[in-house]
Amino acid sequence: MAVVLACGCTKHMSAHVTEPPLLMSAGLVARTSLPLEIVTRDMEYGPVQTRNGAYFVVVSRDRFRFHVVLQHKWDDFADLRTWNAYVVDAHGHRLEVESVTSRVRAVDAFFIKGALYRFRQPLYDGAGTFSVYAHDLVDADESITLVLSRPGFEYRFHWITTDVDPES
């Protein structure tokens, strides 16, 4: 019974996309994944949606760089350095993050459909990058999942790569 209760306390959120293979020999656009976004709301911010997103860039055959944005009402929650991060490849191998950069800024107002919304409490906007390294990672990119976790929360950003059928 204790196991069920412990597992039930974690909020899991995920986003996924299927995209054509990324091309190593091409320009930056062809080496950049489609962006994924997990949208949430907080009653303190009214109509404002908080956006948590990620995409990755193939830096080399062996290195991917994930760009992540987290928005939250708590600054430590928006700080990527407070999250445990790892990547799972198509073969189920867990790849530890090599480096993390992060910055957090407070936002106290938003424009939504031309109307200015000011907050009593700032919304924190955290952005940063995670780098991951593995030999010939680009060959195993049929499926890549970035997992961000901290006590009580887990975000999963999942990219599936498939060849596009010209007949469809």
Q: What single-letter amino acid sits at 13?
A: M
Domains held by the chain: number: 1
User: Is residue 116 assigned to a domain?
Assistant: yes
φ, ψ of residue 4 to 5 degrees: the values are: -65, -45
Average confidence score pLDDT of the chain: 85
Strands (E) located in the chain: 11-19, 36-41, 49-60, 63-72, 84-88, 94-112, 115-133, 143-150, 153-161
Q: What is the pLDDT of residue 167?
A: 54
Please tell me the distance from the alpha carbon of residue 164 to that of residue 13, in angstroms, as a whole number: 28
User: Is residue 166 assigned to a domain?
Assistant: no
User: Is residue 105 assigned to a domain?
Assistant: yes
User: Is residue 167 assigned to a domain?
Assistant: no
User: Is residue 83 assigned to a domain?
Assistant: yes
Q: What is the pLDDT of residue 1?
A: 32
pLDDT band at 165 (very low <50, low <70, confident <90, very high): low
Q: Which of 6-20, 53-67, 118-132 has the lowest mean pLDDT?
A: 6-20
pTM, entire model = 0.85
Task: Tell me which of 112 and 38 has the higher pLDDT.
Answer: 38
| pLDDT reading at 7 higher than 50 | no
Kindly state the average pLDDT of the residues 89-102: 91
| pLDDT reading at 168 higher than 70 | no
User: Is residue 54 assigned to a domain?
Assistant: yes
Residue 18 structural domain: 8-161
Kindly state the average pLDDT of the residues 34-41: 93
Are 150 and 72 contacting, i.e. CB atoms less than 8 angstroms apart?
A: no
Q: What single-letter amino acid sits at 139?
A: D
Kindly state the average pLDDT of the residues 15-41: 86
Q: What is the pLDDT of residue 131?
A: 95
User: Is residue 29 assigned to a domain?
Assistant: yes
Count, residues in the chain: 168
Q: What is the pLDDT of residue 4?
A: 36
